[in-house]
Amino acid sequence: MKVAVVGSTGLVGTKMLQVLAERNFPVTELIPVASEKSVGKEVEFKGKKYKVVSMQDCIAAKPAVAIFSAGGGTSLEWAPKFAEAGIRVIDNSSAWRMDPTKKLVVPEVNAAVLTKDDLIIANPNCSTIQMVVALQPLHLKYTIKRIVVSTYQSVTGTGKKAVDQLFNERKGVVGEMAYKYPIDLNVIPQIDVFLDNGYTKEEMKMVKETNKIMQDDSIRITATTVRIPVVGGHSESVNVEFENDFDLAELKNLLSKSAGIIVQDEPSQALYPMPLWAHEKDEVFVGRLRRDETQPNTLNMWIVSDNLRKGAATNAVQIAEYLLAKGII
């Protein structure tokens, strides 16, 4: 089982190597790929050193699967070339997510859509992934009508430059800025660029990707995405209106039995999800479950997950695990 990790020296690529090792994915040969300037550098995987190679050399090596985390432009250029060579691509960028010919997959929600014909598979946006994992079992039981979501997203979602900015500010060091404004002791209500409708690209990703993954365009979704000075997890306040009424105890039990979810909801013990608990975990943590008392059939919930793991690397590796289990790779 030859496995390529494209973008292996980046923040998410490094995490993908870690997750592949932790989950004991049966890698017989690792092929780390990065930009031309990184070719020849070494990465470590399961105690062994591997030299970073170029895109062309990777294609020539014919891996069974290539997990991409190298940006949208790179994916648009190279994923089709990998696919033409018969290499299955799992892409972590936004390049293919809304392409109607490509599957957008969160294994706990819609892995069954995958077939042998899917050579390029899209990994969704981090904030979308954790939300749909928590909402899918509720949608199947109560039928979701409308979602109002506000996110509180870690600087790791922007990348190493943003993490450096946060810690530089904390130490009083003047350095390179990933954001227009300081992030330490601040909250920035903008993730990605603004669109003509006044929403950011990140906000509209959550809307469109959720409809596509849950295979239901009738669900109405509105989002506000916010960057906060946290390392290690995204948090979301989600208000969900259902077609059908629910019993809160039954709903909580349903979530606790659903794959990939850990319920942390004990107000009397001040137990609720936080990035502190979610950091370096693969699960989606759900809590603060309570009725919206202003209208019927409506729930408030708080959802937290490690955005580099379930929000990126783990989800991609889980897709590969599903393909392997089904004999597709």
Both 113 and 141 in one domain: the answer is no
How many residues can be counted in the chain?
A: 329
Count of domains for the chain: 2
Both 259 and 167 in one domain: the answer is yes
Residue in 58, 126, 139, 279 annotated catalytic: 126
Q: Is the C-alpha dihedral spanning 10, 70, 205, 114 positive or negative?
A: negative
Both 72 and 199 in one domain: the answer is no
E strands present in the chain: 2-6, 29-33, 42-45, 48-51, 65-68, 88-91, 103-104, 120-122, 144-153, 220-227, 234-242, 261-263, 284-291, 298-305
- What is the average pLDDT value for the chain, to the nearest integer? 97
Both 250 and 110 in one domain: the answer is no
Q: Among the listed ranges 32-36, 64-68, 131-135, which one has the minimum average pLDDT value?
A: 32-36
Tell me if residue 234 is catalytic: yes
CATH number at residue 89: 3.40.50.720
Both 49 and 140 in one domain: the answer is no
Residue 9 · residue 305 · CB < 8 Å: no
User: Over pLDDT 70: what percentage of the chain?
Assistant: 100
- Which residues span the domain enclosing 45? 2-124+312-325
CATH number at residue 186: 3.30.360.10
Both 235 and 320 in one domain: the answer is no
**Rounded to an integer, what distance in angstroms lies between the CA atom of residue 290 and that of residue 46?**
44
Both 48 and 169 in one domain: the answer is no
Distances (CA, A) of 40 to 20, 77, 170: 22, 22, 34
- Predicted TM-score (pTM) of the model is 0.96
Both 120 and 149 in one domain: the answer is no
Both 134 and 231 in one domain: the answer is yes
User: Over pLDDT 90: what percentage of the chain?
Assistant: 98
| DSSP labels, 126-175 | HHHHHHHHHHHHHHHHH-EEEEEEEEEE-GGGT-HHHHHHHHHHHHT---
Residue 155 · residue 142 · CB < 8 Å: no
**pLDDT for 180-196, tens place per residue?**
999 999 999 999 999 99
**pLDDT for 285-303, tens place per residue?**
999 999 999 999 999 999 9
Both 289 and 144 in one domain: the answer is yes
> Which residues does 92 contact at the CB level (< 8 Å), separation at least 6?
7, 12, 67, 68, 69, 123, 312, 313, 316
**pLDDT for 5-18, tens place per residue?**
999 999 899 999 99
**pLDDT for 303-320, tens place per residue?**
999 999 999 999 999 999
3-state DSSP helix/strand/coil % of the chain, to nearest 5: 35, 25, 40
Both 202 and 264 in one domain: the answer is yes
- The reported pLDDT for the residue numbered 232 is 85
Q: What is the mean pLDDT of residues 203-209?
A: 98
**Rounded to an integer, what distance in angstroms lies between the CA atom of residue 32 and that of residue 44?**
10
Confidence check: pLDDT of 153 > 90? yes
Both 92 and 106 in one domain: the answer is yes
- The reported pLDDT for the residue numbered 170 is 97
**Rounded to an integer, what distance in angstroms lies between the CA atom of residue 211 and that of residue 203?**
13
- Gyration radius of the chain over CA positions: 20
Give the count of beta carbons closer than 10 Å to the beta carbon of residue 20: 23
**pLDDT for 79-129, tens place per residue?**
999 999 999 999 999 999 999 999 999 999 999 999 999 999 999 999 999
